[in-house]
C-alpha cells in the first residue's frame, strides 16, 4: 500500500483485558513511531523504532505498555490489563530515517476501554 | 523540556479570508518544525516541514514561517475555503528527541 495502515480502526474492550494494535509502515521506511492522542491532551510520543530496535521508549506510560517490531516492518503495540484512562486514539507514523524527514501517519486505532 | 503552544485553540472565519495560525516553542534549538492537518476521525497529514536553517516553506495557498530566535512559527492560509476546515497541529524536533506537538488549532471556514 501507499500509506501507513493500522488495524483495527476501532477497538472496544473491557477493563482488565489485553489489546494488540498493529501498524504497517510505508515500505522501506526504517523509522516507526507510536503516539497517543487523548481528548484534550494533544499527541503524546510513546516509542520509536529504528529497524527492529527501540532506542527510545521514553514515552511509554507504564509497564503495561510494550511494543515490538519484526522484520523491520510491522509493529504491534500491546496494552496489558487495560484501564479506562488508556482510552485514546493510537497513531503510528513512519519515516525514511530519523532525520529531517517528514513523518507519515496512519489513520489511527480508536481504543475505548469500558 | 520542549513545550509547544498553539493559539488560538479554535478559529472560525468566513470563506475567502486570509488567516494566520500561531505556534510557539520554548527551546529554540530545534532541528525542524512541521505543520500537520488532522481531519475528524483521521490521522495526520503533513503540510509543511521547515528545517532549522530555513525561514519559510510554501505549498500552494499555505506558507509556513520559522523564527527560531523568538521561538515562533506561523502558518498562513490564503483565500480560505470550507475544505480547509480541520485541526492544524505544529510539532518541533530538537536533536534526537521525539516530535513534540502542540494541542492544535481547530479551524472552521464558513461558506
User: Per the CB < 8 Å rule, is B101 touching A105?
Assistant: no
Residue A16 has pLDDT above 90, yes or no: yes
Does residue B26 belong to the interface with chain A, where contact is any CB pair within 8 Å? no
- Give the pLDDT confidence of B34-76 residue by residue, as tens digits: 999 999 888 899 999 999 999 999 999 999 999 999 999 999 9
The pairing of strands B86-93 and B62-67 is: unpaired
User: Per the CB < 8 Å rule, is A107 touching B36?
Assistant: no
User: Per the CB < 8 Å rule, is A48 touching B98?
Assistant: yes
pLDDT at A1: 53
pLDDT at A90: 97
For residue B89, the distance in angstroms to the closest alpha carbon of chain A comes to: 9
Give the cell for residue A49. 523504532
- Give the pLDDT confidence of B78-103 residue by residue, as tens digits: 999 999 999 999 999 887 778 899 99
- Give the pLDDT confidence of A55-85 residue by residue, as tens digits: 888 899 999 999 999 888 999 999 999 999 9
Q: How far apart are CA A84 and CA B36, in angstroms?
A: 28
User: Per the CB < 8 Å rule, is B49 touching A106?
Assistant: no
Other CB atoms within 10 A of residue A83 CB: 12
- Which residues in B lie closer than 8 A to residue A110 (C-beta atoms)? 41
Which residues of B, range 36-65, sit inside 8 Å of A by Cβ? 36, 41-46, 49, 51
pLDDT at B87: 96
Residue A100 has pLDDT above 70, yes or no: no
Between A95 and A112, where is the model more confident? A112
Find out whether A51 and A71 touch, Cβ atoms under 8 Å: no
Residue A112 has pLDDT above 80, yes or no: yes
Give the cell for residue A61. 506510560
pLDDT at B1: 83
Residue B105: closest C-alpha in chain A: A42
Amino acid at each position: 500500500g501507499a500509506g501507513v495502515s493500522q488495524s483495527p480502526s476501532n477497538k472496544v474492550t473491557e477493563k482488565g483485558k489485553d489489546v494488540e494494535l498493529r501498524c504497517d509502515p510505508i515500505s522501506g521506511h526504517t523509522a516507526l513511531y507510536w503516539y497517543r492522542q487523548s481528548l484534550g491532551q494533544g499527541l503524546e510520543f510513546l516509542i520509536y523504532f529504528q529497524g527492529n530496535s527501540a532506542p527510545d521508549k521514553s514515552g511509554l506510560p507504564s509497564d503495561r505498555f510494550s511494543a515490538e517490531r519484526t522484520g523491520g516492518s510491522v509493529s504491534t503495540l500491546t496494552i496489558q490489563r487495560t484501564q479506562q484512562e488508556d482510552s485514546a486514539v493510537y497513531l503510528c507514523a513512519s519515516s525514511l530515517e530519523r532525520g529531517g524527514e517528514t513523518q507519515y501517519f496512519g489513520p489511527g486505532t480508536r481504543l475505548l476501554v469500558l | 523540556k520542549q513545550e509547544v503552544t498553539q493559539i488560538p485553540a479554535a478559529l472560525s472565519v468566513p470563506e475567502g479570508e486570509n488567516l494566520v495560525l500561531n505556534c510557539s516553542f520554548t527551546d529554540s534549538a530545534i532541528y525542524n518544525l512541521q505543520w500537520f492537518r488532522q481531519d475528524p476521525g483521521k490521522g495526520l497529514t503533513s503540510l509543511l516541514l521547515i528545517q532549522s536553517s530555513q525561514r519559510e516553506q510554501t505549498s500552494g495557498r499555505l506558507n509556513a514561517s520559522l523564527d527560531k530566535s523568538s521561538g515562533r512559527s506561523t502558518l498562513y492560509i490564503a483565500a480560505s475555503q470550507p475544505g480547509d476546515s480541520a485541526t492544524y497541529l505544529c510539532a518541533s524536533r530538537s536533536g534526537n528527541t521525539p516530535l513534540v506537538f502542540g494541542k492544535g488549532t481547530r479551524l472552521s471556514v464558513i461558506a
